Structure 1
């Protein structure tokens, strides 16, 4: 695995860790219907932290493990800033982890 993929995998672990630290890591998956939302980030069925845990992290792990082509761009941090605008100071470490993920994706 090349160093960029390793760095991205490490960043995913940091994002997971921050969700756990914040107490937002869930032990039970949302319903299949909630996970199947057609809305961007499943905004109609999941919280942003649920989307990170149940959609984003698993999909990115598969992409990294199979080396099937990374996205050219990532804008996860700006979406998180919108989702958490009422408590930005509480999620600083999570925002930093997401921002570093964005930077690694876009660094070619």
Structure 2
């Protein structure tokens, strides 16, 4: 089975950008991105499975963001070298995750 990892990464990045717009995320705000990366890590370490209430749009968007970031990470691990031209969203996330792990 052939998987076009470059296309898949572009689709994930595009959806992350859309969710980011809906959430008011400024991908260039490094302090906000670090806080967001920490929030994603905390969510994953807590198990990451609790579904948000269906009426809380803000939490639904947050959970969608957590899932998309996880999907991005798994896709990148599955296809080293794919997506050599990272989008600004992926670059911002990479910087943020690197900074909180240092």
Give the alignment's TM-score, normalised by structure 1: 0.44
Q: Which has the higher contact order (CA 8 A, sep 6+)?
A: 2
